Chains A and B, each alone.
Chain A
Amino acid sequence: MTAKVLLEVKNLHAGIDGNEILRGVDLTVRAGEVHAIMGPNGSGKSTLAQVLAGNPAYTITTGSAQFLGKDLTALKPEERARDGLFLAFQYPVAIRGITNAYFLRSALNAIRKSRGQEELGPVEFMDGLEEKLKLIGWDDSYVSRPVNDGFSGGEKKRNEILQLAVLEPKLAILDETDSGLDIDALKTVAHTVDKLRRPDSATVLVTHYYRILTHIMPDYVHVLSGGRIVKSGGKDLALELEEKGYDWVRDKAPVA
Chain B
Amino acid sequence: MSTGIEAQVLQPYKYGFVTDIEADVVPPGLSEDVIRLISAKKGEPEWMLEWRLRAYRNWLKMPEPHWANVRYGPIDYQAISYYAAPKKRPQLESLEQVDPKLLETFEKLGLPLEERKRLAGVAVDAVFDSVSVATTFRETLAQQGIIFCAISEAIREHPELVREYVGSVVPYNDNFFAALNSAVFTDGSFAYIPKGVRCPLELSTYFRINTSATGQFERTLIVAEEGSSVSYLEGCSAPIRDEHQLHAAVVELVALDNATIKYSTIQNWYPGDEAGRGGIYNFVTKRGKCLGKSSKISWTQVETGSAITWKYPGCILQGDNSTGEFYSVAVTNNRQQADTGTKMIHLGKNTRSTIVSKGISAGHGQNTYRGLVKILKGAEGARNYSQCDSMLIGDQCGAHTFPYIDVRNSTAIMEHEASTSKIGEDQIFYCKQRGLAAEDAVNMIVNGFCKEVFKELPMEFAVEAQRLLGISLEGSVG
Which residues in A have some Cβ–Cβ distance to B below 8 Å?
53-57, 76-78, 80-82, 86-87, 89, 92-93, 95-98, 103, 106-108, 110-111, 114, 146, 163, 167
Residues of B close to A111: CB separation below 8 A: 435
Q: Which of B139-147, B407-415, B438-446 lies at the interface with chain A?
A: B438-446
Residues of A close to B427: CB separation below 8 A: 93, 95
B430 x A110 contact (CB < 8 A):
no
Closest residue on chain A to residue B454 by CB atoms: A97
Please tell me if B385 contacts chain A, counting CB pairs below 8 Å.
no
B437 x A110 contact (CB < 8 A):
yes
| Most chain A beta-carbon neighbours within 10 Å: one of B1, B425, B429, B447 | B429
Q: How many A-B residue pairs have CB under 8 A?
A: 75
- Tell me how far the C-beta of B448 lies from the nearest C-beta in chain A, rounded to whole angstroms: 3
Closest residue on chain A to residue B434 by CB atoms: A107
Residues of B close to A55: CB separation below 8 A: 429
A96 x B2 contact (CB < 8 A):
no
- Tell me how far the C-beta of B370 lies from the nearest C-beta in chain A, rounded to whole angstroms: 24
- Classify the secondary structure of B's interface with A: helix
- Tell me how far the C-beta of B392 lies from the nearest C-beta in chain A, rounded to whole angstroms: 15
A77 x B444 contact (CB < 8 A):
no
Which residues in B have some Cβ–Cβ distance to A below 8 Å?
1-2, 424-427, 429-438, 440, 444-445, 447-452
**Contact A110 B2, CB 8 Å, known A57-B425, A92-B430:** no
Closest residue on chain B to residue A81 by CB atoms: B435
B448 x A167 contact (CB < 8 A):
no
**Contact A78 B449, CB 8 Å, known A93-B427, A95-B444, A110-B437:** no
B448 x A96 contact (CB < 8 A):
yes
Q: Which 9 A-B pairs have the closest CB atoms?
A: A97-B448, A97-B451, A107-B434, A98-B448, A110-B435, A81-B435, A77-B432, A111-B435, A78-B432
**Contact A56 B425, CB 8 Å, known A89-B430, A93-B430, A97-B448:** yes
Residues of B close to A86: CB separation below 8 A: 433
Closest residue on chain B to residue A104 by CB atoms: B434
- Tell me how far the C-beta of B207 lies from the nearest C-beta in chain A, rounded to whole angstroms: 30
Residues of A close to B1: CB separation below 8 A: 56
Q: How far is the CA of A146 from the CA of B448 in the complex (A)?
A: 9
- Tell me how far the C-beta of B454 lies from the nearest C-beta in chain A, rounded to whole angstroms: 9
Residues of A close to B425: CB separation below 8 A: 56-57
Q: How far is the CA of A209 from the CA of B438 in the complex (A)?
A: 35
- Tell me how far the C-beta of B428 lies from the nearest C-beta in chain A, rounded to whole angstroms: 9
Residues of A close to B434: CB separation below 8 A: 81, 103, 107, 110, 163, 167
Q: How far is the CA of A76 from the CA of B444 in the complex (A)?
A: 19
**Contact A78 B430, CB 8 Å, known A98-B444, A110-B440:** no
- Tell me how far the C-beta of A233 lies from the nearest C-beta in chain B, rounded to whole angstroms: 30
- Can you list 20 residue pairs at the A/B interface with Cβ under 8 Å? A55-B429, A56-B1, A57-B425, A76-B432, A78-B432, A81-B435, A95-B430, A95-B444, A96-B448, A97-B452, A98-B444, A98-B447, A103-B444, A106-B436, A106-B440, A110-B436, A110-B437, A110-B440, A111-B435, A146-B448
